[in-house]
Amino acid sequence: MSYLTLSITLIFVIIPLLLSKTLHLDLEKDTIIATIRSIIQLLAVGYILKFVFDSENILYILLMITLMITLMIAAATQNTRMKGKAIKGITWKIAVTLLVVEVLTQSILLGFQIVPPTAQYIISISGMVIGNSMVLSILFLNRFTAEIEAHRDETELILSLGGTPKQAIHRQLINAVNTSMIPTIESQKTMGLVQLPGMMSGQIIAGADPIQAVQFQLLIIFLLLTTAAVTSVLLGFLSYSISGCSY
């Protein structure tokens, strides 16, 4: 695809802009900012990855992999922390969650030699894992803080009757974990029938064998299921104590 062809695809940005303007949704500014940021960020990452992949110095490649994963985790943490600002220490809790998920998934992938230990696989898969973990963290924190606020009286009653902080918010925590995992599980139920995953479609368009594309997509689907479960449960465990909330 040439840059000229890519510029034509901005039609798909103009359409929501026109709808927002016509219906007075006031989403024009956010849409434009999101579009500009995505263009700059993705092109920058593309050129950096091309430079890394073309390098033959193993130490330099390892350094770049570490740096990029660190930047991914830092950016995801910063983007997520505001959703749980009422929880004390939420920044380090999110960072630890993202790091554990990344180490766990990469250890399995590389330890069992499911994928080659190359920058091409490590960085690409890490981006999907950390990005998905970030979204799950946001979903969990949104629901968890909303549950605590909605059941404040019930929580205070349990505490007044001698219940522990963990007992007081156990049900809210479980509800938040369940809710945050539902989108991942439900999307997998209709995979291949209602939707064709973007990565698999991209591989097929690029000329890859459809069966190989499906197999790799299944790997990512299973990987993201673990990502969803570990993210929600671990972040929930770290945020469990009611003393960690400023309600």
pLDDT tens, the chain, 247 aa long:
678 888 999 999 999 999 999 999 999 999 999 999 999 988 888 888 888 778 767 777 788 888 888 988 998 999 888 887 778 888 999 999 999 999 999 999 999 999 998 888 888 899 899 999 999 999 999 998 888 888 778 777 777 777 766 777 788 888 889 989 998 888 888 777 666 677 777 788 778 888 888 888 889 889 999 999 999 999 988 887 544 444 4
Range of the domain at 11: 1-54
Check residue 243 and give its pLDDT: 41
Please state the pTM of the whole predicted model: 0.80
Taking the alpha carbons at both ends of the chain, their separation in whole angstroms is 52
The rounded distance, in Å, linking the Cα atoms of 136 and 231 is: 7
Instruction: Note whether 94 and 235 are within 8 A (CB).
Output: yes
Question: Is residue 15 domain-shared with residue 103, that is, in the same domain?
Answer: no
Question: Is residue 117 domain-shared with residue 17, that is, in the same domain?
Answer: no
Question: Is residue 110 domain-shared with residue 29, that is, in the same domain?
Answer: no
Can you read off the two tokens belonging to residue 144? 């968890």
Question: Is residue 48 domain-shared with residue 77, that is, in the same domain?
Answer: no
Question: Is residue 19 domain-shared with residue 86, that is, in the same domain?
Answer: no
Whole-number Cα distances in Å, 162 to 22, 71, 147, 171: 56, 44, 21, 17
Question: Is residue 43 domain-shared with residue 105, that is, in the same domain?
Answer: no
Check residue 166 and give its pLDDT: 72
Please count the structural domains in the chain. Answer: 2
Question: Is residue 8 domain-shared with residue 108, that is, in the same domain?
Answer: no
Question: Is residue 154 domain-shared with residue 225, that is, in the same domain?
Answer: yes
Check residue 246 and give its pLDDT: 43
Question: Is residue 81 domain-shared with residue 147, that is, in the same domain?
Answer: yes
Question: Is residue 41 domain-shared with residue 70, that is, in the same domain?
Answer: no
Check residue 21 and give its pLDDT: 92
Domain boundary among 54, 70, 95: 54
Check residue 241 and give its pLDDT: 55
The rounded distance, in Å, linking the Cα atoms of 103 and 231 is: 12
Question: Is residue 73 domain-shared with residue 13, that is, in the same domain?
Answer: no
Question: Is residue 29 domain-shared with residue 64, that is, in the same domain?
Answer: no
Check residue 247 and give its pLDDT: 43
Give φ, ψ of 87 to 5 degrees. Answer: -95, 120
Instruction: Note whether 27 and 16 are within 8 A (CB).
Output: yes
